[in-house]
Amino acid sequence: MLSMSHLPTTTHIAALRTFVVSFADLLSRHADEPTILREGGALLRELVAQDDWLPDEYARPDPRYYRQYLLHADSAQRFSVVSFVWGPGQVTPIHDHTVWG
């Protein structure tokens, strides 16, 4: 399992750190799902508005299968941040994990 302390140091990793801290704070303040989805969605939109924060080694596809990289696992087991990477022509069937993301 990787945590942010194991990610390479870059000038842009602060964006992920800010998201994780802000999202954990949101979960500590609100338990209702509509608020979490609305405010958490805004935090996520802010994070992914720029694509320079994810180190290249966590964005590399596998030649045969999609890959996933655990970027953060909340110590209270409330959420995780994962990078999913598909290479050219790779697909994943539509499916339901019964969680929001």
Question: 17-71 pLDDT, tens per residue?
Answer: 999 999 999 999 999 999 999 999 999 999 999 988 999 999 999 999 999 999 9
pTM value? 0.78
Q: 29, exposed or middle or buried, with CB in 10 Å at 0-12, 13-18, 19+?
A: exposed
Measuring CA to CA, which residue among 4, 18, 79 is closest to residue 47? 18
